Amino acid sequence: DGRIKPDIGAYGNSQTSTYPPNTYGPGGGTSAAAPGVSGTLAVLYQGWRELHGGDPNSGLMKAFLLNAADDLGNTGPDFRFGWGRLNGARAWQAIDRDQWTTGSLDQGQSATHNIEVPAGTAELRVMLYWTDPAASLQAQEALVNDLDLTGTAPDQTGHLPWHLDPTPDPAILNGPATKAPDHLNNVEQVHAVDPVTGTWSFTVEAFDVPSGPQEYFLVYDLIPDSIRITYPLAGDVLTSDESHRFRWDALGNTDPFTVSLSLDSGMTWNAYPAVSGDRRYFDLGLGDTLFLHCFLRVERNGQLAESGPFRIQHAADDLEVLFNCPDSMGLAWPPVEGASAYVMHRLGAQYMDSVALTSDTAFVFTGLVPGAADWFAVTALDALGRPSRRSIAIPRPTQLQNCQAGQDLFVESVLSPGPVLLQCQSDPAVRYVVRNGGSHAVEGFATGFQVNGNAPVNVQMTDTIAPGDSLLVELPQQSLGMANNVTNLFRVFASSLQEQFPPNDTLSMEVLRTGNFAWIPLQENFDNEVACSTSNVCDTPCDEVGLFRNAMNGGEDDIDWRVDTAGTQTADTGPALDHTMGDEYGRYIYLEASGGCTQQEALLTGPCLQLPTSTPAQL
């Protein structure tokens, strides 16, 4: 209906982010940009809680985020970047300074709010936001309650909000925003460049409020004409063996920046090539060298910003787990050049707490709880006790490592059921292997299984298992209670009476109970099925094939039967025409044999057939 979408843009082009399992990797597209916005909001919410307690209204937080955005594309909002690029630091600054107010209006009412604009302000941004009620599904426009925002400068000059023309024509949609009343959006912004110093008044009017009263929020930013370095800050510690991205904030995208770096407390400065005016960062690698008194300087058009002192220092890395026992873990790392000692960290309730100091390059953490989700890290201290950047934390292994507990029983493998059960067959007996990984014999143990959230089936065994030996457990055949046509979580467990390491007591797997009943005569020619990818990447999934089901690749089999039409990927390796239709439009199934797809197993499971008892059946 012409509303401003997207709301905001965020970086999404191969940036480093968290990556499973517990590591870092590149992210891109909206899959990386969206969590960047969500994560920034999470930090802003935390800051609000620390300032005010409790949680703010979500509409207020959205207003802070949109109003603080760096303008991209056309001046003002547009249909490509919304209100601009995410700027969490500027949003937090407005929250920290309480640059907002709120009110509530019914039809025909208005309210005026005053804002003091100091000298030296380069931009004034005032944004009105309200959480609008949901419109009916048949409404041509989504906006229900329509509020209007206008501003008046100290010299009595009037200011209207940004307005975009939603006419569905590419040239118009890509055109610049103008200043005019807005009756489509639940967010409006009055924007002034080089605003007049003094008291500005802003009026919020209930232009059309059929479902009132309507709560609203008014947030504002007073952006000075200056450069502000955002990374590194005073006291930051950078590592000496990686490239660094220095960052700053400033208005305007035309004139270039000059970046200089001092490595000797500002006595000398190294200048680098000019940075284009639309960039706010500069990448630099300084080699594997220590610099303890560094300053960053950014200049443009007579403006200058200088960071506080920061250090470039060697840090501990390549942490290695030497052993992991039920109540302790050994950690080692390579010596760090120039380090006199190391601070040992363990994750506490909220922070990576400092728990010990050592001059060695190995440490044993004691008093650990078996199975607890512990994380550990190391900080190197130089000769004067100055800390390096803390190492990337590593998790405690989930299994014992270079250590043997006295009593440690675990489920080694599940033999039955398999990953797929057919509805037309009785559930099989549960069979699995239990092994004694401890140093003492196990005399009797508790075992059993559980399906989804059902009550567990518990069994007490009296068998003795010697250290290192295993036992095949077969429970009486019974209904497993699995749901049909869905994936069920199946857990098998076993523990000794004096178990010392519970984390490995349970083995989990997914079991699909499938196979709808079908009556004969049954015929499937696959002509109504959607063709699967014709790529010769032969393990690409093609799950459902008419009444049949492909087994799971990498678990039950290797590759899938594929629905195809008009000839296979490689010439002369399959039919050119469909058997049923006799033309190139019919469908059939085949196994891809090109591109290294030979000698692969493919399992196709049909429905459960109800066979007649009086006459023979034929396949």
Those residues of the chain that have pLDDT short of 50 are none
Written in H, E and C, the secondary structure of 462-526 is: EEEECCCCEEEEECCCCCCCCCCCCEEEEEEEEEECCCCCHHHCEEEEEEEEECCEEECCCCCCC
Q: Tokens 């953490």 — which residue?
A: 365
pLDDT of residue 512: 85
Q: Of 120, 127, 123, 76, which is closest to residue 101 (Cα–Cα)?
A: 127
User: Where are the alpha helices (H) located in 55-203, listed in sequence order?
Assistant: 58-67, 88-96, 170-173
In angstroms, the CA 176 to CA 80 distance is 11
Fold match between domain 13-221 and domain 320-395:
no
Q: What is the pLDDT of residues 40-53, one digit of tens each?
A: 999 999 999 999 99
Under CATH, domain 320-395 is a member of which superfamily?
A: Immunoglobulins (2.60.40.10)
Which residues in 145-232 belong to E strands, given as ranges?
146-152, 158-159, 162-163, 178-179, 187-193, 198-208, 214-224, 228-231
Query: How high is the pLDDT of residue 446?
Result: 97
d(CA 561, CA 542) in angstroms, rounded, equals 7
pLDDT at 371: 80
Q: How far apart are CA 590 and CA 585, in angstroms?
A: 15
Would you list the DSSP string of 235-251?
A: T-EEETTSEEEEEEE-S
Report the distance separating Cα 430 and Cα 480, nearest Å: 9
Are residues 608 and 518 in contact, defined by beta-carbon separation less than 8 angstroms?
yes
Backbone Cα Rg of the chain: 33
What pLDDT does residue 240 have? 87
How far apart, in whole angstroms, are the C-alpha atoms of residue 95 and residue 127? 14
For the domain spanning 13-221, the CATH number is: 2.60.120.380
Tell me how far CA of residue 249 lies from CA of 113, 256, 290, 404, in angstroms: 29, 13, 27, 55
In CATH terms, is domain 409-514 a member of 2.60.40.10?
Answer: yes
Structural domain spans, the chain: 13-221, 228-313, 320-395, 409-514, 516-619
CA distances from 185 to 5, 143, 182, 335 (A): 10, 7, 7, 59
- What pLDDT score was predicted for residue 552? 78
Half-sphere exposure of 545 (CA within 13 A, CB side): 27
- The pLDDT, as a whole number, for residue 534 is 59
pTM reported for the whole predicted model: 0.73
Residue with tokens 């990374």: 231
Give the three-class secondary structure for 423: coil
Q: Provide the pLDDT for residue 95.
A: 98
pLDDT of residue 590: 84
| Angle formed at CA 592 by CA 587 and CA 597, multiple of 5 degrees | 170
> Do the beta carbons of residue 473 and residue 462 sit within 8 Å?
no
Q: Which is nearest to 68 in space by CA: 221, 253, 192, 280? A: 221
Q: Count Cβ neighbours within 10 Å for each residue of 222-250 and write b for 16 or more, e otherwise.
A: bbeeebebbbbeeeebbbbeeebebbbbb
- For domain 228-313, say whether CATH 1.20.144.10 is its number: no
